[in-house]
Chains A and B, each alone.
Chain A
Amino acid sequence: MSQPVASEAAVVVSGVDKVFNVDSADEVTALSDIDLTIGAGEFVSLIGPSGCGKSTLLRLVGDLLTPSVGEVTVFGKPAHAARLDQDYGMVFQHAGLFDWRRVAANIELPLELRGWSRADRTARSAEMLDLVKLTDFGDYYPRQLSGGMQQRVSIARALSFQPKLLLMDEPFGALDEMTREHMQLELLRIWRETGTTVVFVTHSISESTFLSSRVVVLSPRPGRIHSVIDVDLGDRTDETREDPAFFAKATEIREALRADKDVG
């Protein structure tokens, strides 16, 4: 993958295989021969059909799984060390807010675990609530919010400690189309404002096209990188979605995904 990357590499995945249930009847190779470099400040999407290992790859980067072969380096150190250094922010499809904590307290949880003082935590959660446009909702309980609002809190929580790397696993998968498009714009705004690196798993072609600076197309069984497609559409706005260049790029990604199918 000789992709042009930013000065510093955020993530380097080299020669990684991931095999589940090793030496048993249902042994399965989820990922095979993965090489990928993600530059600092990039927004990279992983796209592919179900079972292509995109979530597995995300979890390998986040050290929630360990590779069977090969290694994952994050900001120059092993992924395990990066996790212990708490370099990661994670957002899942399921917002995963804790029912028993108010919205502000949910955002403050990672800060509490880092031993921040109460005053610092309160100041930061207020800041984050502003960022995700939920300024007045700090004292609500999660179940009082809509799905889209909960997902925004989840993003605020992931960003609260300014992680160097934001890992997102289909974070908008459960949202309706209108909310999803709104959230995509919000995420891009936050990404620009914070300068964080984002790895984003999705199975939506238009979502990956709209959000990413690069799209990594994975093919299934075993999961391999089929191709890496640069997406240069400038600053995204709602108009971008109707831009012929956007459609051309989406088509390119779609064809890469189809090529997979013909092979498999």
Chain B
Amino acid sequence: MIRGRLAGIGPPMVVGVAGLGLWEGIVWGFGIREFLLPRPSSIMDRLSENWPMLRHAGWETGRIAVSGLVAGILAGVLLALVTTRFRTLNEGLTPLAVAVNATPIVALAPIFNAWFGITGTLSNQAVVVAIVFFPVFINTARGLTEVHPDELELMRSYAAGEWTILREVRIPNALPFFANALRVVAPLSVIAAIVAEYFGGPQDRIGNIITSSAAFARYDVAWAAIAVASAVGLGLFAAALLLERVSMPWRLVDGGSENHNTPGREK
């Protein structure tokens, strides 16, 4: 299995390196001007020149993303647990949550600035929390409720109470649903943090560096900042995948029969 995983890394590495090479070649070959599309090599140069600033920015933006991510996950999971436990609440809240989820939340960033202050980080964190919350809430709630009726009858035949059913059936059943949400929201949290930074917050962050560099036509520096942001996003995505593997060992085995604990499965 270890060998299989390493083998899985090979092809994307080759394609990635080849892609960068092609990018370099096209920019050089067609004489594309640097401010339209800088070469990967000059982005690398800017990255190392501005490394202390970019590292600091990446770290700070990453902190906003991660803190908002954690808070959004906690809120989403908590509300999912509460709505599962209390059915009437679920019937009232879930359609509302779905409707609110359809509104573009980044559009609220300027309003959050008014609410939570434009110079601090709180309004940026609030945007991340709002973006992370809904996918986590909706997916987790589905996982907690979409339990096979036979499994519930079985637990009831053991005279198991609601808390036991929650612990033994609903929560493990919801893990794959939660993991799917996590895969989506982990990189999304970085996007949310950067977009929020476009509208305000401290000036030494990735979002501000991108906007100010672009304003001074320093597109190569903007690209270097984007590279840092991608690295942070990738790191969070990798962490989500790792967590998924560690928390659900049963999904790693090769199954002879259909895998029935899969989100979206017809029950």
Residues of A within 8 A of B (CB): 59, 62, 64, 83-86, 88-90, 92-94, 96, 98-102, 109-110, 113, 140-147, 150, 167
Question: Smallest Cβ distance from B223 to chain A, in angstroms?
Answer: 44
From B153, B160, B164, B253, give the contact of A144 (CB < 8 A).
B253
Asked whether A143 lies within 8 Å of B154 as measured between CB atoms, the reply is no
Interface stretch among B60-68, B87-95, B117-125, B257-265? Answer: B257-265
What string of 1s and 0s marks CB contacts (under 8 Å) between B140-170 and chain A? 0000000010110110111110001000110
With contacts A143-B260, A146-B257 known, is A84 near B159, CB below 8 A?
Answer: yes
Chain B residues whose CB sits within 8 angstroms of the CB of A143 once the complex forms: 250, 253, 255-260
Question: Smallest Cβ distance from B211 to chain A, in angstroms?
Answer: 46
Asked whether B158 lies within 8 Å of A113 as measured between CB atoms, the reply is yes
Residues of B within 8 A of A (CB): 148, 150-151, 153-154, 156-160, 164, 168-169, 172, 175, 248, 250-251, 253-261
Residue in B158, B169, B260 whose Cβ sees the most chain A Cβ within 10 Å: B158
Q: Could you list some 25 contacts between A and B, CB below 8 A?
A: A59-B153, A64-B156, A64-B157, A83-B157, A83-B159, A84-B159, A89-B157, A92-B154, A94-B148, A94-B150, A96-B154, A99-B261, A100-B172, A100-B261, A109-B168, A110-B158, A113-B160, A113-B168, A141-B255, A143-B250, A143-B255, A143-B257, A143-B260, A146-B256, A147-B257
Chain A residues whose CB sits within 8 angstroms of the CB of B156 once the complex forms: 64, 83
Specify the chain A residue showing the minimal Cβ separation from B261: A99
Question: Smallest Cβ distance from A263 to chain B, in angstroms?
Answer: 32
Chain B residues whose CB sits within 8 angstroms of the CB of A167 once the complex forms: 157
Specify the chain B residue showing the minimal Cβ separation from A83: B159
From A85, A88, A92, A142, give the contact of B150 (CB < 8 A).
A92
Complex Cα spacing A62 to B152, Å: 13
From B154, B172, B260, B261, give the contact of A90 (CB < 8 A).
B154
Chain B residues whose CB sits within 8 angstroms of the CB of A102 once the complex forms: 250
Complex Cα spacing A215 to B215, Å: 85
With contacts A99-B261, A143-B250 known, is A62 near B157, CB below 8 A?
Answer: yes
Asked whether B254 lies within 8 Å of A90 as measured between CB atoms, the reply is no
Question: Smallest Cβ distance from B73 to chain A, in angstroms?
Answer: 20
Complex Cα spacing A150 to B157, Å: 19
Q: Using a Cβ cutoff of 8 Å, how many contacts connect chains A and B?
A: 78
Specify the chain A residue showing the minimal Cβ separation from B151: A96
Complex Cα spacing A135 to B253, Å: 20
Complex Cα spacing A101 to B169, Å: 10
Chain B residues whose CB sits within 8 angstroms of the CB of A88 once the complex forms: 157
Chain B residues whose CB sits within 8 angstroms of the CB of A113 once the complex forms: 158-160, 164, 168
Q: A90-B153, A100-B261, A167-B157 are in contact. List 7 more A-B contacts (CB 8 A).
A: A64-B156, A98-B169, A98-B172, A99-B259, A100-B172, A113-B160, A143-B257
Complex Cα spacing A147 to B250, Å: 17
Complex Cα spacing A167 to B156, Å: 13
Question: Smallest Cβ distance from A21 to chain B, in angstroms?
Answer: 17
Asked whether A141 lies within 8 Å of B257 as measured between CB atoms, the reply is no
Chain A residues whose CB sits within 8 angstroms of the CB of B257 once the complex forms: 142-147, 150
Chain A residues whose CB sits within 8 angstroms of the CB of B157 once the complex forms: 62, 64, 83, 88-90, 167
From A84, A92, A140, A147, give the contact of B153 (CB < 8 A).
A92
Question: Smallest Cβ distance from A120 to chain B, in angstroms?
Answer: 17
Chain B residues whose CB sits within 8 angstroms of the CB of A140 once the complex forms: 253
Chain A residues whose CB sits within 8 angstroms of the CB of B261 once the complex forms: 99-100
Question: Smallest Cβ distance from A65 to chain B, in angstroms?
Answer: 10
Question: Smallest Cβ distance from B32 to chain A, in angstroms?
Answer: 52
Chain A residues whose CB sits within 8 angstroms of the CB of B250 once the complex forms: 99-102, 141, 143
